[in-house]
Structure 1
């Protein structure tokens, strides 16, 4: 395909994706929000909408490839090297600029804003102007800034702010030593969680894991816990419960669903509410299950009264969840662990399964950047040409998450082939991959199952 033909094809995809996004808003009865909107209720209203997520994935990929095709390479490469958005975001989050501006909907001059956040006014203006150029905050008059739709999620009461903070504080420090970590003769070849780049950056002696670090730093542990609620919004986790005409997993066909390493059960709450007749079993460490019981007793007492939820303490490294259930659901679990530990988790769940049971692994599932045929990776949805088969920039968060797993745990997001090989060693096989745009659900069954 010639360069001009590729550009025209990409323009067609941009137009298609834009129309699909508009249609998703219309079908949901939602107005397309303006970037200037200060409506906090709309911030998450479409975060789990599958049609919108697929449209935006295509739009992000096609738009980025279009710019990369037409721009001189120097422009694109330098744009990749000097995106200081992250440093400016860190400042804005830590001094709570969005919180202060929430009290000034008509805007606040940096002469007044600077003293309120304890940042010199001239430097603050430059930081906020860069962010406003990236559509986060608005400069409504010279040196006068207001919140907008993007900056609202940086407020301290939004868990996305905590998620950003974890990346900007811990993960970026690890990224700064990635080269040194990879070049180290001991740490470089290692997949031990104690020898990850993050552990090198915060502690250095190879004796603790990230989870140990959180236990030793209660403030950061609380931030991380809130961040995981924000992660659910980014991933659009509840898109797993959306869909028609069999386009998503048929939850209603099953009666008992075990949420393995469930936390307090945010996914199971939505599942029980949306799928009549299903019973969920939350399984996690005893202290987490205690928190879940308290939360459900307070906010979901009707579900407890109807006996549609059960709480079971267990450790997935030391034993198996309740046996003989229909579905075992693992969300954002095995990506935290290198292969040896991940295999142990899968094997322990496998021991609880019966013929007909399904294990659902809900994670980012990495795609190759090249097209291949005749491989199990064909189970994943691929982007139309001339896009990269993995949707290019439309999947950047997935590859960012993969590097976050490497930096933090020496673990990874896996390809379908990775998951198939790992599952086979645990006595399971891949049946199907359910595409949820941002993430995938990989369906597994027993090697000898139906």
Structure 2
């Protein structure tokens, strides 16, 4: 039997699912996708349109595979070593802000704005157009914004994120293999690609603390509004009286829990600057039900509670340090207390779409290059609790529908 021609199969899959997405957009009088400057910044598909979301993901994955097949192995091996050079230059010299969205400019005007000579502006802009859809040059020498540069010019959060990823994360990735060779199998946060990229023997957080501007950019990268990712609807908070949000920053999760469940008293713990800022932002109606406490989770936990909650904390640390964090809870824990770890997990790739798999694996490698830390697979969690103390009973991990993070739970049986 002749096997199905994969490129034809993929092209059919793309056509079928593109029609589903297009049909939804047309039936709801929504604009079709565009990279023009006035395009919508995100695809206008609501969360409850699950069939359309699935079709969109299928198109993206199929296009990626079809491109790879059409490119071929030898061509795929060619490294794009100039890939983001122009993007970094655009951001560094603020070329995206050199003229307003809806207007047009010239290489000469961008040169005057930035201080770069005309030749360098022209080569940077054309590289960014060809490789990243940054700007447009529909008429030779006449530059307008594209959808991507319109977003950069109008969304400071998105712009800051890209700067952090290119200035902080990318150099660390380049040096990751060097760090692994210099410090084989290290679990130390100062023996990393980030440390080498900064010519330092300190950890990422220590390095950033020495430069307020860098630290501020980095803080803004993570200080973005986020949903509670299924936590409120998929955990029996109505049965709990107290929770401690460890490493809870400004208390967004604790505040959400307190607003929804008046029975729960929440304590947010973090380093002094974070809790001071969080306390200043606390809504008045929650005073007394949400409190802030300075605490380092590498020291003994002083609060006895029903639930100890960690949001995206453990993936910042290697196993030896995660074990210390758990062991520091023990002195305060009463029998039946729960530990909730709320973060991404690495399930088997067969359960993920290609796009989701890439995001998960990319995050895992990101933790390696920055901190010698990791995302963990399902089987690694019970072992981590066991190594911390055999009196922890692992209760399992579950991912609420539509959530990015998993709810990983253990019970103290001491």
State the TM-score, normalized to the length of structure 1.
0.76
Report the 3-state secondary structure (helix = DSSP H, G, I; strand = E; otherwise coil) of the residue aligned with 2:340: strand
Question: 2:18 & 2:109 partners in 1: Cα distance?
Answer: 42
Question: 2:162 & 2:137 partners in 1: Cα distance?
Answer: 22
Question: 1:38 & 1:268 partners in 2: Cα distance?
Answer: 38
Corresponding residue for residue 366 of structure 2: 404
Per-residue deviation, residues 389-423 of structure 1 (Å, max 9, x unmatched): x4234432332222221111111122222223212
Q: Which blocks of at least 5 consecutive residues in structure 2 are unaligned?
A: none
Question: 2:243 & 2:22 partners in 1: Cα distance?
Answer: 32
Question: 1:394 & 1:284 partners in 2: Cα distance?
Answer: 31
Report the 3-state secondary structure (helix = DSSP H, G, I; strand = E; otherwise coil) of the residue aligned with 1:324: coil
Say yes or no: does 1:418 pair with 2:383.
Answer: no
Taking the TM superposition and a 5 Å limit, the aligned residue runs for 1:42-441 are 57-78=57-78, 81-82=79-80, 84-101=82-99, 103-133=100-130, 134-155=132-153, 158-184=156-182, 187-204=183-200, 206=201, 208-229=202-223, 237-238=226-227, 240-241=229-230, 249-250=234-235, 253=238, 256-270=242-256, 279-296=265-282, 300-304=283-287, 307-320=288-301, 322-325=303-306, 327-349=307-329, 352=332, 357-369=337-349, 371=350, 382=351, 390-426=352-388, 427-434=392-399, 439-441=404-406
Q: CA RMSD in A?
A: 3.9
The structure whose Rg is larger is 2
Report the 3-state secondary structure (helix = DSSP H, G, I; strand = E; otherwise coil) of the residue aligned with 2:399: strand
Question: 2:272 & 2:135 partners in 1: Cα distance?
Answer: 43
Offset, 1:282: 1.7
Q: Is residue 360–residue 442 contact of structure 1 (8 Å, CA) maintained in 2?
A: yes
Question: 1:421 & 1:21 partners in 2: Cα distance?
Answer: 47
Offset, 1:429: 1.2
Aligned residue pairs total: 407
Question: 2:27 & 2:403 partners in 1: Cα distance?
Answer: 21
Per-residue deviation, residues 221-246 of structure 1 (Å, max 9, x unmatched): 1111111135x6xxxx4161499xxx
Q: Is residue 346–residue 376 contact of structure 2 (8 Å, CA) maintained in 1?
A: yes
Report the 3-state secondary structure (helix = DSSP H, G, I; strand = E; otherwise coil) of the residue aligned with 2:147: coil
Corresponding residue for residue 376 of structure 1: none
Report the 3-state secondary structure (helix = DSSP H, G, I; strand = E; otherwise coil) of the residue aligned with 2:5: helix
Q: Which blocks of at least 5 consecutive residues in structure 1 are unaligned?
A: 372-381, 383-389
Offset, 1:258: 3.2
Per-residue deviation, residues 339-394 of structure 1 (Å, max 9, x unmatched): 1111122333466555665433233322444x5xxxxxxxxxx1xxxxxxx42344
Q: Is residue 353–residue 446 contact of structure 1 (8 Å, CA) maintained in 2?
A: no
Q: Is residue 61–residue 395 contact of structure 1 (8 Å, CA) maintained in 2?
A: no
